[in-house]
Amino acid sequence: MKLHNYFRSSASFRVRIALALKGLSYDYVPVHLVKGEHRQEKYTAVSASALVPTLETDAGDQLGQSMAIIEYLEETHPQPPLLPSDPVARARVRALAQLIACEIHPLNNLRVLKYLTHQLKVDEATKNTWYRHWVRNGLELFEAELARLPAGRYCFGDTPMLADCCLVPQIFNGRRFDVDFSGLTRTMSAFDACMAHPAFQQAQPSNCPDFEG
């Protein structure tokens, strides 16, 4: 397999975590978003949407969208599972994951931040305030959802799952923008548990071959 991705991309980070949790090897293919490599012909031939990540399977299929890629990995390599076996529990884990992937992340990805500064002429401080507001707001909702679930080491239970794959990259990027994480007790406890797990350490941006400090 090949993973076309960018070290700082939250969506790419999610897939790297899933691959590491499942012990799957792959070729790392860097696509530098800030330099615009995702819009160059070399990559648009791989991804029509020019988004990262893209997973190329051993059979040569090209799969986009991080959540779809992780579901594919779950279906083709079911052990260890990233979703519970019970349908209600599966829905709850998916809901946690989508709260981050569909509610928080789209408001703060690189395309949106560039639009704020380049087209709307928002200054850096205002852009960062925007970022911090929506991440904090979303994580407060995430914390409220966790509070309704039985306590566990991770987001849902005592093994890392799909929700954890989404949470960790969001916290990483939130730290870059000085998001306030105070009071998010269950959320940050799950994050700390994840960061004590080798798979999450392996997948983090500083361990990527294209990492820039």
What is the pLDDT at residue 201? 97
Q: What is the pLDDT of residue 189?
A: 98
**Domain end (from 80, 112, 138):** 80
Number of structural domains in the chain: 2
Q: What are the per-10-residue average pLDDT scores of the chain (213 residues)?
A: 97 98 98 95 96 96 98 98 98 98 94 95 96 97 97 97 98 96 98 98 96 87
- Residue 213: what pLDDT? 76
- Give the pLDDT score at 202: 97
Domain assignment of residue 177, given as a range = 87-200
For residue 64, what are the β-bridge partners? 54
Domain boundary among 80, 95, 124: 80
List, for residues 162-193, the tens digit of each pLDDT value.
999 999 999 999 999 999 999 999 999 999 99
Residue 197 CA: distances (Å) to CA of 11, 201, 202: 19, 7, 9
User: Whole-model pTM?
Assistant: 0.96
Contact present, 210 and 32 (Cβ < 8 Å): yes
- Cα dist. 142→38, 95, 166, 186 in Å? 31, 10, 11, 9
From 192, 193, 128, 173, select the one nearest 14 (Cα to Cα).
Answer: 173
Same domain, 107 and 59: no
Whether residue 110 is found in the same domain as residue 175: yes
